[in-house]
């Protein structure tokens, strides 16, 4: 099954729920790219599973999640800038 690169971003205020969501993302082999953002390859079924698990976690409180699939062509146009000053 074709796996596309996905980006997952969430806005969750309660630490416990936010941590739960980051653990779910790690369970799916995704890599943390921002404080509340992960990315990695997912097939369609895994994406749906991941989405349901995250929404289930958020339902306990409040928050938002967005799962974005990017085709090969789109990934070539991504712009990223990181400056980490200690």
Q: How many Å apart are CA 41 and CA 53, to the nearest integer?
A: 17
Q: How many Å apart are CA 33 and CA 56, to the nearest integer?
A: 23
| Phi, psi angle pair for 81, to nearest 5° | -140, 130
CA distances from 9 to 37, 85, 86 (A): 4, 23, 25
Q: Is 1 in the site for a second copy (CB under 8 A)?
A: no
Q: Is 58 in the site for a second copy (CB under 8 A)?
A: yes
Q: Is 67 in the site for a second copy (CB under 8 A)?
A: yes
Q: Which of 16, 26, 41, 64 binds a second copy (CB under 8 A)?
A: 64
Q: Is 46 in the site for a second copy (CB under 8 A)?
A: no
Residue 73 CB, nearest distance to a second copy (Å)?
A: 7
Q: Which residue has the tokens 């699939």?
A: 69
Q: Is 61 in the site for a second copy (CB under 8 A)?
A: yes
Between residues 29 and 71, which has the closer beta carbon with respect to a second copy?
A: 71
């Amino acid at each position: 099954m074709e796996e596309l690169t996905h980006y997952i971003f969430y806005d969750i205020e309660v630490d416990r729920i936010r941590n739960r969501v980051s653990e779910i993302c790690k369970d799916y082999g995704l890599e943390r790219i921002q404080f509340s953002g992960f990315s990695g390859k997912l097939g369609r079924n895994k994406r749906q599973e991941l989405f349901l698990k995250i929404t289930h976690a958020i339902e306990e409180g409040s928050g938002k999640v967005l799962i974005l699939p990017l085709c090969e062509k789109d990934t070539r146009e991504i712009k990223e800038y990181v400056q980490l000053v200690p």
